[in-house]
Structure 1
Amino acid sequence: MKLVRTFDPKVKVVLDSISPDGIRLPTVQFRQPRMIHADFLTHRVFSRNGRSSRAVPVVTLLEEARNPYVPHFLKNKPGMMATEEFSDKERALAEAIWRDMAEYTRKGVERLNDIGVHKQWANRPLEWFGYIDVLVTSTEWNNYVALRDHEAAQPEIQQIAKAIREALDASKPNILEPGQWHLPYIEPDDYRIVLDYLRNGVKINPTPERQLELLKKISAARCARLTIKPFDGDGSFEKELERYNSLIVNRPVHASPVEHQATPDTKSFYEVRRLSKGREDVVVRTGLDWDHPEEHANFTGWRQARKTIPNEWVPG
């Protein structure tokens, strides 16, 4: 059955890097219906951030809800796949019912907002009919594409997976050497801004190491709010650093935004020896292995910034 396009996924490859070992690390931003986001979360190898209903002003979602997501409805049948089309009249009725539910929900949320209910509750009912912006960084995409760009997946999931696959196929990764960092949302002008900030703002020697650390923080702060233009608040350089500190320096650490920054790992020769009675040690295995595998986390062959952050998780 032909896949019907029902929304604009707005897929963008934010940054595409590849290590000397040929391991690719793309960061992808896209928009999908909020109703399928739970299915997306089952892919645990992804490092991701998504637009939160707790962060977006109620008035923003209320305005978006005037144009709700409306599925291309198919007839019910046993199993998880729908294949039979409605007549034009039947589909129009289903869509009208859906839009009525969306409008009724929007009006209810508007009333909650009018009496001062916080957005972390007032916004939630709109999730059924709205969209979510998502940012994903990963070295593992094949399994997701194989499962989701497939006729057995829900049509909305097929649509976003197909768009992501096409965007990745069209993107050419840049080679990064160990010590060079994959930094989503960092633009060429940011290097000049960081240099000026260190020299004239905090008045310290702008060493390459200090410049890199600041750029990693700015990248993480921008990943935390998904787009360079914030949903609310100030997107200035100083505010980005405040945002980083509120997430990563304060306790407990909210570390997901520092999963998108990474540098290629190196490999070294190793040998495993076994003690032999009365003789010299016997070499039983040799080879090349990663130097910092404990910093890969859910990546392969890349050292993730999160694993360099103190207290990035709470043990026990």
Structure 2
Amino acid sequence: MPIPVARPASARAVHGDRSTVYAQVIADSISPEGVRLTTLEVQCHRFVLSEFNTHRVFSRNSASSRAIPVRKQLQYLRDAPAIPLSFPQEKAGMQGGDELNSNLVEEARAQWLVARDAAIASAEKLVALGVHKSIVNRLLEPFMWHRIIVSSTRWDGFFTQRISPNAQPEIHAVASWMREALEASTPDAVAGGKGWHTPYIDEVTDDHIREAVGSSEDAYWTLRREISAARCARVSYLTHTGVRDIEADRDLYQKLVSAEPPHWSPLEHVATPGAHPTTVSNFDGWTQLRQIAELARTRT
């Protein structure tokens, strides 16, 4: 059967939207050796996250069910729940059959929302009992949208598997958006030796960094890397209170690297051209900030 793909007018128009599948390029770089590294922000149905996470060539971070307050999550689910893109007929095997007829599709959607309402009611009862959000939010995951930042130098395997007639419609949709975003983007050349791929650093942030550090190039690149990694951890330009704050970004970076154990994964999205001489990463031809920070930690 044809696989439906949700397609808003443009990725830019839906950036940050909590009610649809989307993908947007956040940073796109090419090394002197011609190796392209791209970072995308994507949103998909939470229930296909496990399929997304099977691709080991990706570095990724995503919004955590353990971190988002339950009240905020409940409001998201009331306003814009994630609903399957398709309701195929049951048949043997992993792929569904033809789409239900229109009347049955409407009934299926209604039953999905009945289940959503029941999950919300149970979540509210758990909140009243004082249960922590890390448990309560798990009840709500089938109805959540999920935002991910993903970086890679290799995409073909993912697209081959997920943009396929055999793929579940919801993973097919986000993979299609990702490929479209990559094809529409032109990478920026990054110089070897000092240049860096730094997602979530735009012109406004760059100006703030320059103001904060003055003329020191070393301090400039250090702060730029730290802010980028912190924002990758949040999957946002903004703090959780909805503002740009480079001091809050810097504080978060220090918490990431000083934690026991450290939270290294956001540092994987920040990278410089050239393979590291003594360590291996999931990027071709780029050294991740994680590799550098881990080595520095072992030497202290």
Question: In structure 2, what is the Cα distance between the partners aligned to 1:122 and 1:232?
Answer: 22
Question: In structure 1, what is the Cα distance between the partners aligned to 2:190 and 2:112?
Answer: 48
- 2:9 corresponding residue in structure 1: none
Distance 1:233 1:159, change over 3 A: closer
**Residue correspondence of structure 1 range 231-242 to structure 2 within 5 A:** 231-232=240-241, 235-242=244-251
Distance 1:49 1:118, change over 3 A: same
Which protein is bigger by CA-based radius of gyration? 1
Question: In structure 2, what is the Cα distance between the partners aligned to 1:63 and 1:166?
Answer: 31
Contact 1:47–1:260 (Cα < 8 Å) also in 2? yes
> Which secondary structure does the structure 2 equivalent of 1:81 belong to?
coil
Contact 1:18–1:173 (Cα < 8 Å) also in 2? yes
- 2:120 corresponding residue in structure 1: 106
Distance 1:10 1:85, change over 3 A: closer
- Among all aligned residue pairs of Structure 1 and Structure 2, give the percentage whose two residues are the same amino acid: 36
> Whose relative contact order is higher, 1 or 2, with alpha carbons under 8 Å and at least 6 apart?
2
Question: In structure 1, what is the Cα distance between the partners aligned to 2:206 and 2:103?
Answer: 58
**Residue correspondence of structure 1 range 27-38 to structure 2 within 5 A:** 27-38=39-50
Question: In structure 1, what is the Cα distance between the partners aligned to 2:294 and 2:176?
Answer: 38
Which ranges of 4 or more aligned residues in structure 1 deviate by more than 6 Å? 311-314
Aligned-pair distance for 1:229? 2.5
Contact 2:22–2:174 (Cα < 8 Å) also in 1? no
Matching residue within 175, 179, 202 for 1:161: 175
Contact 2:239–2:248 (Cα < 8 Å) also in 1? no
Query: TM-score scaled to structure 1, two decimals?
Result: 0.84
Question: In structure 2, what is the Cα distance between the partners aligned to 1:124 and 1:231?
Answer: 20
Any gaps of 5 or more consecutive residues in structure 1? 200-205, 266-289
- 2:278 corresponding residue in structure 1: 294
Say if 2:289 is the partner of 1:310. Answer: no
Q: Which has the higher helix share?
A: 2
> Which secondary structure does the structure 1 equivalent of 2:22 belong to?
coil
Aligned-pair distance for 1:296? 4.6
Aligned-pair distance for 1:237? 1.5
Given residue 301 of structure 1, which amino acid in structure 2 is its aligned partner? Answer: G
Q: 1:178-227, CA deviations, whole angstroms, 9 ceiling, x for partnerless residues?
A: 1200000112233332233335xxxxxx5211110111000001111001
What RMSD over aligned residues (CA atoms) do the two structures have, in Å? 2.0
Say if 2:155 is the partner of 1:141. Answer: yes
Contact 2:238–2:245 (Cα < 8 Å) also in 1? no
Aligned-pair distance for 1:37? 0.1
Any gaps of 5 or more consecutive residues in structure 2? 7-18
